[in-house]
Amino acid sequence: MFNPIQYISQGDTPQEQLYHIESVLDAGQRWIQFRFKDTLTSIRWKTAEQVKLLCDSYHATLLINDDPDLALAIDADGVHLGLQDRSIAEARALLPHKIIGGTANTLADVKQRLDESCDYIGLGPLRYTLTKKKLSPLLGFEGYQQLLTALTPEEKQIPIVAIGGITLTDVPVLQKIGLSGIAVSSLLHQAQSPQQLIQQLNTYFL
């Protein structure tokens, strides 16, 4: 089930990953994308197993970033794939009844993701962010507006989620432009009251 507020995990160690994920779950976040790049495969897989247990205990949706095999192994709810990752078709064959999201940066990317029948599209980045090392060209609000204007009403039926350096003041603007939701990371970590923030964010996309 689609959630308009998506959390992308961060942390350089399993302990940091698990701490952040449990913190946002405890605050009411119910969509977790597990992203743990710069580590050994064995460590990432073991950490993912623990994340799966956490998400199950909170009845939260768990997606795995960039790794359909791992999503299959731990019975996650789905996978999110970047443009340079395995194809949506491969992931769909491996995970036929799971959620599959795909990254996009340009109108051509969005059209590609639509043709591939993604369940949702992560479109961005809005602005510069330290969370991701290899950053695509920034879109800004004008870029989002241009891209969404170029889509037909039918094409807009697939949820498009904004990502990349999003702040609280950006959310009403993105919602007005026509985005279906947002993907955040640091925004939740830096909040004085993550629970209150999550509740506030959800009101924009009811």
For every residue of the chain, which 3-state class applies, written as one string?
A: CCCCEEEECCCCCHHHHHHHHHHHHHCCCCEEEECCCCCCHHHHHHHHHHHHHHHHHCCCEEEEECCHHHHHHHCCCEEEECCCCCCHHHHHHHCCCCEEEEEECCHHHHHHHHHCCCCEEEECCCCCCCCCCCCCCCCHHHHHHHHHHCCCCCHHHCCEEEECCCCHHHHHHHHHHCCCEEEECHHHHCCCCHHHHHHHHHHCCC
Cα(64)–Cα(85) distance, rounded to whole angstroms? 12
Q: Annotated binding residue at 165?
A: yes
Two tokens at 51? Answer: 């994340």
74 vs 47, 77, 82, 162, CA distance in Å?
A: 11, 9, 20, 27
The domains of the chain are located at 5-203
Res 133 pLDDT > 90 = no
Residue 149 marked ligand-binding: no
The CATH topology of domain 5-203 is TIM Barrel (3.20.20)
Q: Is 169 annotated as a binding residue?
A: no
* Mean pLDDT, residues 28-55: 97
> How confident is the model at residue 13, as a pLDDT?
98
Of 27, 22, 33, residue with least CA distance to 57: 22
pLDDT of 132 over the 70 cut:
no
The CA-to-CA distance between both ends of the chain, in Å, stands at 14
Determine whether the annotation assigns residue 109 to a binding site: no
129 is in an annotated binding site: yes
132 is in an annotated binding site: yes
pTM of the model: 0.95
Residue 129: pLDDT band by 50, 70, 90 thresholds? confident
Q: Is the distance from CB of 114 to CB of 87 less than 8 angstroms?
A: no
Question: pLDDT at position 100, please?
Answer: 98
Annotation-wise, does 205 bind a ligand? no
Is 130 labelled a binding residue? yes
Q: What's the Cα-to-Cα distance from 148 to each of 36, 119, 136, 173, 174, rounded to whole Å?
A: 30, 17, 18, 13, 11
pLDDT of residue 134 exceeding 90: no
Cα–Cα distance, 165 to 132 (Å, whole number) = 10
Mean pLDDT of 112-127: 97
Is residue 141 a known part of a binding site?
no
Write phi, then psi, for 53 (nearest 5 degrees): -65, -40
d(CA 104, CA 180): 14
